[in-house]
Structure 1
Amino acid sequence: MTRRTTSRVLVSQHRRPGADTAPEPGETSLQVGVLGPLSLVVDGRNCTPSAPKPRQLLAFLILNANRLVRADECIAELWGSHPPKTAMSTLQTHVLYIRQILRNASADRSHTLVTRNQGYQLKVAAQASDRLRFEHLAQRGREASVTGSFARSSQLLGEALALWRGPALTDVPSGALSSAHVIELEEARKGVLEWRVEADLQLGRHQDLLDELGTLATQHPTHENIQAQYMLALHRSGMRPQALGVFHRLRCRLRDSFGIEPVPRLRRLYEAIDAEEPALLRLTGCTAT
């Protein structure tokens, strides 16, 4: 996929430094969710805390699942650069509250909030976290695409995207540390969507993609890879003038907003469409790489 300052898509699937190994995937009655509103569900019962600070702390711990989070990080997340003098004792109270919820909610001891080395670690099995499942499916989907298994790739990436219930943690105030995680998640979601669209283009589903890509192109008017995918889908659907128009509008936006031209790859795609090159009608992977 195109990487550029004006349309950068960061799909980070590697584990962050300091992260411990998550428990092996398995069946669990407990589910935590951050791909949408904050969610803590046990046996179909909503156990999500309602108080603002415990919700914020729980979200932060879930975002850092299976990683040791220092107490000072938690304090910075909850109170910013001017914490109250009672911050440490209040944090401990919130931790105790969350730990009690987990203990009451499930007898599965793979889901525990432990204290060690002046910090906290929320242990969550891979199948219990929508974020961890998303990252796992996204990784497998990209690998399938690289090997040319586009039907499998489309299926896996579609399953990853289906885990999203709305914008990440839309109902929880985010401190500086959580905000970075949320931005990363939303960028990852966008990147996975591009990979899934590419797989569908390879499968000849260009007409089925027109409405979706039209919406995406409107939402991301200077994102070159999305515009390229839209151009290709339009051209393959017999809408060559519309495809050329997408390029002209993008060029104007990039010039007016950033003083730059579209990347060479996109210009070559425009020239190929303009010349009606037969190769474009074959499934040759003309966009994301």
Structure 2
Amino acid sequence: MDGYAPLLTERDESTQPAVRFNVLGPLEVLKDGVDYAPTTPKVLRLLAMLVTRPGKIVHVDSIMHELWANDPPRTVRTTMHTYVHHLRRCIEQNGLADDAESLLVTKPPGYLMRIDPEQVDVFGFQRLHLRGRELLRRREYAGAATAFRSALDLWSGPPLSNVHCGPVLSGYVVELLEQRRSALSLRIEAEIRGGMHLELIGELRTLVAGNPLDESLHGQLMRVLGRSGRRSDAMAFYRQLRARLNDELGVEPCDELQLLHHELLAEGEHGR
């Protein structure tokens, strides 16, 4: 934002920030490979609110809603200031910045962490995700798959898995999980278009078993099975999905899956 001083976290010779923040798994504050994240639950949630919006003001009302939802204590602002104090003390005691108040800034109407987005793993994930989408659009399938794999490799588990998330952070976690699902689906799509069929069958069968109503995954599995000479298996998975959708949701498979099923049937007829 305008008027910001240079980042207070020093950079090493490779220009990477000395302090990094991981969101895609447990919330971590890493310096020289050591995690210095606070352990007090609400202080950790406060840190999560600030780290997920690096360099931007997080309104006090948003913080209070996350920490207490609709039941704030009578001394809510005093209590929140106490949590900010504890977070600054954590920064100072662990040498995460030369000046804690210049890293965790009070800036009406809220607070901000004066850090670069690139210090947070989620921004690296999103950059690689966008890179993969661009390469896929240009039909550079191997490069796209590599970009998506690199993005997914940044994940170590469910986002903010050590944080007891309130209403604000819970919505953020749902959004991140959808982005991960998209990256995984597009990585598989890039590999299918690049000619990988047999190699994907095992992974897709595992994914389908864990997501029995996911039509997109079923479609990808049916495609790789069909292109691997296993049309009967592909159609068997279609019948299983159709039965589940009818029994549990009262709906038919989507048009794309129905078309794929008809194509597999037609290929079988032509092969006779």
TM value normalised by structure 2 = 0.88
| Separation (CA, whole Å) in 1 of partners of 2:228 and 2:34 | 47
Partner of 2:63: 74
Partner of 1:14: none
Say yes or no: does 1:247 pair with 2:224: no
SS of the residue 2:198 aligns to = helix
SS of the residue 1:115 aligns to = strand
Q: Please report how far the alpha carbon of residue 107 of structure 1 lies from its aligned counterpart in structure 2 after TM superposition.
A: 4.4
**AA paired with 1:169?**
L
| Separation (CA, whole Å) in 1 of partners of 2:251 and 2:99 | 55
Deviations 1:38-80 (A, max 9, x none): 1001122211111111111111222222332111111111111
| Separation (CA, whole Å) in 1 of partners of 2:267 and 2:217 | 21
SS of the residue 1:105 aligns to = coil
Deviations 1:165-186 (A, max 9, x none): 0111111100011000001111
| Separation (CA, whole Å) in 2 of partners of 1:54 and 1:236 | 53
Moved more, 68-77 or 194-203: 68-77
Q: Please report how far the alpha carbon of residue 277 of structure 1 lies from its aligned counterpart in structure 2 after TM superposition.
A: 7.3
Partner of 2:151: 160
CA distance 1:149–1:117, change in 2 (3 Å): same
Say yes or no: does 1:48 pair with 2:37: yes
TM value normalised by structure 1 = 0.83
> Does the CA contact (< 8 Å) of 1:42 and 1:106 recur in 2?
no
Which one of 124, 129, 133 corresponds to residue 120 of structure 2? 129
Moved more, 133-142 or 118-127: 118-127
Identity %: 35
SS of the residue 1:276 aligns to = helix
Moved more, 65-74 or 134-143: 65-74
> Does the CA contact (< 8 Å) of 1:240 and 1:273 recur in 2?
yes
Structure 1 unaligned spans of 5+ = 1-17, 279-289
Q: Please report how far the alpha carbon of residue 142 of structure 1 lies from its aligned counterpart in structure 2 after TM superposition.
A: 0.7
RMSD: 2.3
| Separation (CA, whole Å) in 1 of partners of 2:84 and 2:199 | 48
Structure with max Cα Rg: 2
| Separation (CA, whole Å) in 1 of partners of 2:45 and 2:108 | 22
Say yes or no: does 1:101 pair with 2:109: no
Deviations 1:241-268 (A, max 9, x none): 1100111111111112222111111111
Aligned pair count?
Answer: 257
Partner of 1:284: none
> Does the CA contact (< 8 Å) of 2:231 and 2:268 recur in 1?
no
Partner of 1:206: 197
> Does the CA contact (< 8 Å) of 1:29 and 1:106 recur in 2?
no
| Separation (CA, whole Å) in 2 of partners of 1:201 and 1:102 | 47
> Does the CA contact (< 8 Å) of 2:97 and 2:103 recur in 1?
no
Partner of 1:145: 136
CA distance 1:277–1:150, change in 2 (3 Å): farther
- 1 or 2 for the larger relative contact order (CA 8 Å, sep ≥6)? 1
Partner of 1:91: 80
Say yes or no: does 1:262 pair with 2:253: yes
